[in-house]
Amino acid sequence: MTESRPAAESVRHTSDFVVELWRSVVGREFMVGEYGPAVEAELAAMRTEYEALVGAGRGWSLRTLFSTPDCDIVDFCEGFAPNRFGVRAAAEVEGFCRRFGIWLEVGGAHYNSMTPYLHPYAATAQRMTTIGIYNAILFWLNDTVGREKFAHLTDTEQRQAAATVERLCGLLDTRNAAMDPTPVEAATVEFLELLDGYADPDWLGRFLDSTIDHLRPAIRDQNARARGELLAVPDYIDLRAQVSGMYPAIALCEFGRDEYLPWHRIQAAGLDADLHRLRRLTVEIGALMNDVFSFEKECIHDRADFNLIPLCLLNNPGATLAEAVLDAGRIVRDRLTEFHRVRARIGRYCGELTDRSVVEPVSAHVEDLLGCVQATWVWQTTTLRYKGISIFNENHLA
């Protein structure tokens, strides 16, 4: 599937009938915030348009969607390499998960391969493995009872999933295990023991709070039908940032290096606003780029709509899937552009500072954030998790 013509034009020639179908099916506009039959009709039309695109062999290059004239994303990620302890850590994580019965036979190898990409600078195999165990616990939850799967669970299973999350949040808050732990709780207890042995205490408290903030919205049905409302795109992005798990992921960069950010000194140096913004951009790039890569897995196969592409479509009555894809690509691309700008500004400021107790940890963390952004692209083009029949060139199963 190639782009011999501009994407929007090439799609228009093969899917005009889908646009007409949308207009005849929906028949009226709806306002952001409402949920009703019009939303379901537009989602159905989106999936019909998707099938038309696949049938016509039309689609997009994600490289083109995410690149600018000044920065090609492939060139930007050139030279990136996963952590040197990755293979060893992946084997130990799989053994840990099998011991607790939380290894996913379908998908486990894919998510287990992500950790060395997301944390290329973890300093020791032990720290790499500990981070991998954390990710494995979250992925087990995501792929069994997470937001994509939650709607397909029975009422009993949904109540059990909600109870499991509340028990896990209580465990993370108090660090006291239940008398009758489930397998995932027992695994979390052992993870906490590993982490507590060699993590900075202040950092650990913030990290566990961040994990709780992630789990509560992540393990529930976030689709428009369940919410009873349609989110505006900025509100969706705010919620997606929490659901993504990227906040604890970038916090783990500090643990991986065993080098923690001295926020009081960073603030005194006047770097805190830019560093917070760079962290936020890293989170949003990771979450929203994943939305595009996983669109088919989530929205076509799992029938979900909590994803940037359908949100772009639903917030613009009359829009086509083709237009929503281009809009989602622009949103990711704008954040990549701002990431480059803020990162350069921090670099210039650090070059003027003489306080090495600020410059060194900030520079290391900026390098970690750069690695996270690069990993977001490199891992998702490498993993088989999103491969198959696709409207995106990079998702084609070779």
* Residue 11 clears pLDDT 70, i.e. is over it: no
Identify the pLDDT of residue 148.
79
In the numeric block, which tokens belong to residue 49?
């348009």
Supply the mean pLDDT for the chain: 91
pTM of the full predicted structure? 0.90
Instruction: Report yes or no: 75 and 374 within 8 Å, Cβ to Cβ.
Output: no
Match 């506009």 to its residue by tokens: 29
Identify the pLDDT of residue 35.
86
Rg of the chain's alpha carbons, rounded to an integer?
Answer: 22
- Give the mean model confidence (pLDDT) for residues 110-116: 93
Identify the pLDDT of residue 14.
35
Instruction: Report yes or no: 254 and 203 within 8 Å, Cβ to Cβ.
Output: yes
Identify the pLDDT of residue 4.
36
Three-state DSSP at 71 gives strand
CA nearest 84: which of 127, 120, 134, 37? 120
- The residues pairing with 71 across neighbouring beta strands, listed in sequence order, are 68
* Residue 371 clears pLDDT 60, i.e. is over it: yes
For 298, the enclosing helix (H) or strand (E) is none
Q: How far apart, in whole angstroms, are the C-alpha atoms of residue 147 and residue 237? A: 15
Q: What is the pLDDT of residues 230-264, one digit of tens each?
A: 999 999 999 999 999 999 999 999 999 999 999 99
* Residue 325 pLDDT grade (very low, low, confident, very high; cuts 50, 70, 90): very high
Identify the pLDDT of residue 149.
85
Identify the pLDDT of residue 47.
97
Three-state DSSP at 335 gives helix
* Residue 151 pLDDT grade (very low, low, confident, very high; cuts 50, 70, 90): confident
* Residue 338 pLDDT grade (very low, low, confident, very high; cuts 50, 70, 90): very high
Q: What is the pLDDT of residues 176-206, one digit of tens each?
A: 888 899 999 999 999 999 999 899 999 999 9
Q: How many helices (H) and strands (E) does the chain have?
A: 21, 0
Identify the pLDDT of residue 28.
34
Range of weakest confidence among 31-40, 127-136, 160-169, 365-374: 31-40
In the chain, what is the straight-line distance between the N-terminal and C-terminal CA atoms, in Å? 12
Amino acid identity of 312? C
Identify the pLDDT of residue 347.
98
Amino acid identity of 107? G
CA nearest 140: which of 99, 111, 182? 111
- Give the mean model confidence (pLDDT) for residues 364-369: 98
- Give the mean model confidence (pLDDT) for residues 11-36: 46
303 Cβ neighbours under 8 A, 6+ residues apart? 151
* CA torsion through residues 355, 357, 362, 368, sign: positive
- Give the mean model confidence (pLDDT) for residues 347-365: 97
CA nearest 289: which of 386, 217, 222? 386
Q: What is the pLDDT of residues 260-302, one digit of tens each?
A: 999 999 999 999 999 999 999 999 999 999 999 999 999 999 9
Q: How far apart, in whole angstroms, are the C-alpha atoms of residue 376 and residue 387? A: 15
CA atoms within a 13 Å half-sphere pointing along the CA-CB vector of 373: 28
Identify the pLDDT of residue 32.
58
* Residue 31 clears pLDDT 50, i.e. is over it: no
* Residue 362 clears pLDDT 90, i.e. is over it: yes
* Residue 16 pLDDT grade (very low, low, confident, very high; cuts 50, 70, 90): very low
- The residues pairing with 60 across neighbouring beta strands, listed in sequence order, are 392
Identify the pLDDT of residue 13.
40
Q: What is the pLDDT of residues 65-107, one digit of tens each?
A: 999 999 999 999 999 999 999 999 999 999 999 999 999 998 8
In the numeric block, which tokens belong to residue 40?
């379901």
